[in-house]
């Protein structure tokens, strides 16, 4: 397993925050994002064996949009084809890569970034994850300002998983390979936007969770949040 440890905390589970409460928390973060855009987010990292935990903590599979890139022919440039799902690939040189189950173990298809993979979301999100080979870095932005980043990966492994949750919403992300010239991803996962019933802002919930994070970071010795 990759031994890199950033200044963000490793994954810790908070079962009391799953399901509906997690969705309300997501909305709360989105609504107050404009007031906290100058801050750095607290990032929780999920890696490899934490894959199921990431899905659990963001509300389950029904709360997640997964893009596997298998619905387009090999060598298709991906730009706005997934815009209806809430994401646009903005750098213009990302292409599908298929027929390689050993490289893309999730479904045999992936995305070759030809450099970085730049994502623009139709609304701010607080959760993102990828299945990927090699190494990857997440850089998360809100209105062009970097709010958080995290590095993941393991050399020689094609079935890596990396996921993050962020205490500050982001509306774009850059995925890069910090150990090589280009990022490659098997599947992309991000959360759906809550419906109108989720627009009640539970600021007390957000405050309480942030206190739990700070307390557990101090107890566990994993270092400070960004």
70 Cβ partners below 8 Å, 6+ apart? 98, 107, 108, 109
Segments of the chain with pLDDT less than 50: 1-37, 195-210, 212-226
- Cα–Cα dist 8/170, whole Å: 17
Q: Which residues pair with 191 in a beta bridge?
A: 64
What is the per-residue pLDDT for 38?
A: 55
Q: Side-chain half-sphere of 182: how many Cα atoms within 13 Å?
A: 11
Q: What angle do CA 26, 206, 128 make, to 5 degrees?
A: 35
- Cα–Cα dist 219/195, whole Å: 36
- Cα–Cα dist 200/214, whole Å: 25
What is the per-residue pLDDT for 103?
A: 76
What is the per-residue pLDDT for 219?
A: 44
Coil/strand/helix, residue 31: helix
| For the chain, domain boundaries | 24-220
Total count of residues recorded for the chain:
226
User: pLDDT tens digits for 108-160?
Assistant: 889 999 999 999 999 999 999 999 999 999 999 999 999 999 999 888 788 89
């Amino acid at each position: 397993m990759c031994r890199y440890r950033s200044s963000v905390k490793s994954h810790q589970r908070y079962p009391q925050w799953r399901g509906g409460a997690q969705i309300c928390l997501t909305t709360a973060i989105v609504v107050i994002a404009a007031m906290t855009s100058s801050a750095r987010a607290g990032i929780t990292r999920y890696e490899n064996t934490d894959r199921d935990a990431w899905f659990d903590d963001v509300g389950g599979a029904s709360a997640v949009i997964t893009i596997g890139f298998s619905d387009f022919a090999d060598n298709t440039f991906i730009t706005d084809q997934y815009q209806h799902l809430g994401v646009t690939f903005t750098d213009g040189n990302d292409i599908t890569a298929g027929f390689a189950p050993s490289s893309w173990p999730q479904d045999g298809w992936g995305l070759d970034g030809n450099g970085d993979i730049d994502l623009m979301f139709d609304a701010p999100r607080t959760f993102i994850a990828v299945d990927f080979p090699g190494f990857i870095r997440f850089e998360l932005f809100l209105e062009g300002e970097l709010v958080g980043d995290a590095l993941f990966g393991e050399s020689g492994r094609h079935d890596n998983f990396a996921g993050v949750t962020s205490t500050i919403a982001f509306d774009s992300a850059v995925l890069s390979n910090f150990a090589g010239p280009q990022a490659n991803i098997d599947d992309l996962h991000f959360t759906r936007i809550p419906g109108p019933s989720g627009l009640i802002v539970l600021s007390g919930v957000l405050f309480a969770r942030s206190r739990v994070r700070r307390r557990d970071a101090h107890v566990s010795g994993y270092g400070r949040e960004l």
